[in-house]
Amino acid sequence: MKRNTKVSTAVIRRLPRYYRQLSELQAAGVVRISSSALGRSMGLTASQIRQDLFCFGEFGQQGYGYKVDLLKEEIGEILGISQGHTLIVVGTGNLGRAIIRNFRFSANGFRLLAAFDVDPAVVGTEIAGIPVRHAGGLEDFVAAHSVDVGLLTVPIAAAQQMGDRLMAAGVRGIWNFTNYELTCTRQDVVVESVHFSDSLLTLSYLISQREDMEGNQ
């Protein structure tokens, strides 16, 4: 399979959408699908589908389309789902607990090992079977278990400090839910920040645009 190391960020961010859509198609019993049909189901053009996938190799056949199971497997490989990444959660407040209880880490190729906090009321307990450890032992745990990713859900005031500790401990990535832009102190660490406000404001813009269009009709 061809691997293009200069793939745009926009294409990379569409790959999980492809994987999710193909998973749904597979669950529905769909065996093969054309680029046109896949594009319609995702709000994309057939040309966009073909261009995106061509960045990584030749997957479909002209006049036949894509085999859903094989394309899902190939995209999963590109996304690294089969690599067995490990992850810890730092911060077990309302958001941290909700993610631990409800997010399907294993379905996305991650194994959740433990959670960390400083609150004596939660340290030593379990959340959905995941042990909560004291944050004082964070570095030792990361080193002992070769943790790949730290999921950060601490308060904003503690975000950079805990981010720095995770980077220094040797994680390869931080999934940042703190609504704080972390300063990355290591070039070999990737930070992916999730800002709920960005998504909500995007929705606000789209609603406003729709209202303006309807008002001008």
Q: What is the mean pLDDT of the chain?
A: 90
Residue 190: its pLDDT value, please?
A: 94
Residue 1: its pLDDT value, please?
A: 45
Domains along the sequence of the chain with CATH: 9-77 (1.10.10.10), 84-197 (3.40.50.720)
Residue 111: which residues within 8 A CB-CB, separation 6 or more? 84, 85, 86, 87, 105
**Three-state SS across 93-122?**
CHHHHHHHHHCCCHHHCEEEEEEEECCCCC
If pLDDT is split at 50, 70 and 90, which confidence band does 6 have?
confident
Distance CA 21, CA 210 (A): 26
H/E stretch holding 24 reads: helix 9-27
Percent of the chain's residues with pLDDT above 70: 92
Distance CA 208, CA 179 (A): 24
**Residue 116 pLDDT > 90:** yes
> How many other C-beta atoms lie within 10 A of the C-beta of residue 76?
18
Percent of the chain's residues with pLDDT above 90: 63
Rg (CA), the chain: 20
The model's pTM: 0.80
The average pLDDT across 101-106 equals 94
